[in-house]
């Protein structure tokens, strides 16, 4: 799945930029006008439609600037389709407090809510493309504490540990780690949920995964009943319609909890060719999905989010770079398919 140990370095660089942005934003004036980040040419969407923060120093924004400098105006406009939408900020393993503070402070200056993704559970991704995570349970708890201190009382929407519950249920994570994982997830939900303005959504897989009946109890053991809700389709490609149906099935079994959907790359639905086990990894012919918003067609769907940052690789497959690295050719393909 998404991420890699290199994500920590990228996040550290990004947070320096985020810290420098604090004070460079103003909230919208109530008339729906976009806000322009100082010197970036990247704009915020009106908060009435999309309350989430656009990072004007992200990879897509940098690519827009590079294409404009090279005179590739058409490509720049295509990548702007990504750069001007809010995406998840994936907190790295080394400086969680600093990164969380930097992103949430910059968002607060823009009168926006930050979307943070926490992906550092021990034995993450079963040692696959995004393998890694905290060294042990104590290291993970300390990391979560750092994130919580960094967020403080600022607004944040947290997507907690993509695939962590799913990989327990499907047997990918060895059985000896199951009990600890549930304990760590429940502790993270409690720690982050205690923050004044933070919403926590525990990852709950996607519409293409096996039998939803098998994940109800594990979600409860991981603390979903104490969370604000759950997240579906993170870094995946299943359609919004299928994701709503899947989410509603889960919700009916866990107290009618609301959920969020990652719509970042689901415009053309999932890829159905090639190796079934790697259809999720950099599939060709995909498109951007619905843009982030809290105005959804279903009362149980709190928001459409771009949790995955479109244009960043899923891993070293189909010609892609390492997981989490920016891949401009793939970003262009997503945008062209959506234009």
Is the model's pLDDT at 300 over the cut of 60? yes
pTM: 0.91
Binding residue ranges = 90, 209, 236, 280, 308, 312
What residues are annotated to the active site? 125, 163, 314
Q: How high does pLDDT run on average in the chain?
A: 89
pLDDT at 2: 36
Least confident of 43-47, 67-71, 179-183, 309-313: 43-47
Residues across the chain:
339
Q: Please give the full DSSP string across 113-126, using - where no structure is assigned.
A: BEEEEE---TTBGG
Least confident of 11-20, 129-138, 185-194: 11-20
Binding residue ranges for substrate = 90, 209, 236, 280, 308, 312
Would you state the structure tokens that stand for residue 290, as one six-digit string?
Answer: 């619905």
Is the model's pLDDT at 232 over the cut of 60? yes
- How far apart, in whole angstroms, are the C-alpha atoms of residue 221 and residue 325? 33
DSSP E strand stretches across 283-331: 301-305
Contacts of 157 (CB under 8 A, 6+ apart): 52, 113, 114, 115, 116, 198, 199, 201, 260, 303, 305
| Neighbouring C-beta atoms of residue 49, cutoff 10 Å | 12
Percent of the chain with pLDDT over 70: 87
pLDDT at 10: 47
| φ and ψ of 316, to 5 deg | -80, 70
Domains, the chain, ranges and CATH? 6-23+41-338 (3.20.20.40)
pLDDT at 18: 52
Q: Is there a contact between 279 and 271 (Cβ–Cβ < 8 Å)?
A: yes
Is the model's pLDDT at 246 over the cut of 50? yes
- How far apart, in whole angstroms, are the C-alpha atoms of residue 254 and residue 232? 14
- How far apart, in whole angstroms, are the C-alpha atoms of residue 172 and residue 181? 13
Least confident of 53-57, 129-133, 174-178, 300-304: 129-133
């Amino acid at each position: 799945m998404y991420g890699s140990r290199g994500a920590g370095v990228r996040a550290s660089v990004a947070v320096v930029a985020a810290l420098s942005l604090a004070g460079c934003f103003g909230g919208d004036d109530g008339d729906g006008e976009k806000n322009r980040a100082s010197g970036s040419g990247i704009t915020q969407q009106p908060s009435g439609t999309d309350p989430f923060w656009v990072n004007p120093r992200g990879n897509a924004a940098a690519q827009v600037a590079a294409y404009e400098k090279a005179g590739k105006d058409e490509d720049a406009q295509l990548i702007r389709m990504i750069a001007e939408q809010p995406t998840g900020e994936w907190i790295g393993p080394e400086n969680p407090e600093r990164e969380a503070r930097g992103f949430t402070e910059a968002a607060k200056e823009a009168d926006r809510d930050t979307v943070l993704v926490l992906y550092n559970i021990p034995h993450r991704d079963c040692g696959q493309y995004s393998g890694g995570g905290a060294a042990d349970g104590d290291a993970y708890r300390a990391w979560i504490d750092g994130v919580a201190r960094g967020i403080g009382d600022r607004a944040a929407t947290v997507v907690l540990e993509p695939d962590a519950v799913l990989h327990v249920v499907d047997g990918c994570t060895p059985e000896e780690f199951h009990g600890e994982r549930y304990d760590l997830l429940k502790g993270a939900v409690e720690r982050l949920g205690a923050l004044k303005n933070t919403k926590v959504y525990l990852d709950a897989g996607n519409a293409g995964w096996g039998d939803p009946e098998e994940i109800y109890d594990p979600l409860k053991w991981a603390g979903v009943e104490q969370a604000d809700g759950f997240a579906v389709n993170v870094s995946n490609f299943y359609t919004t319609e299928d994701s709503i149906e899947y989410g509603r099935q889960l919700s009916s079994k866990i107290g009618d909890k609301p959920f969020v959907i990652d719509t970042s790359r689901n415009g053309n639905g999932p890829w159905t060719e090639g190796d079934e086990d790697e259809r999720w990894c950099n599939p060709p012919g995909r498109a951007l999905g619905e843009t982030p918003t809290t105005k959804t067609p279903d009362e149980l769907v709190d928001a459409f989010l771009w949790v995955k940052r479109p244009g960043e690789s899923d891993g070293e497959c189909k010609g892609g770079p390492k997981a989490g690295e920016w891949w401009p050719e793939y970003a262009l393909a997503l945008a062209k398919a959506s234009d």
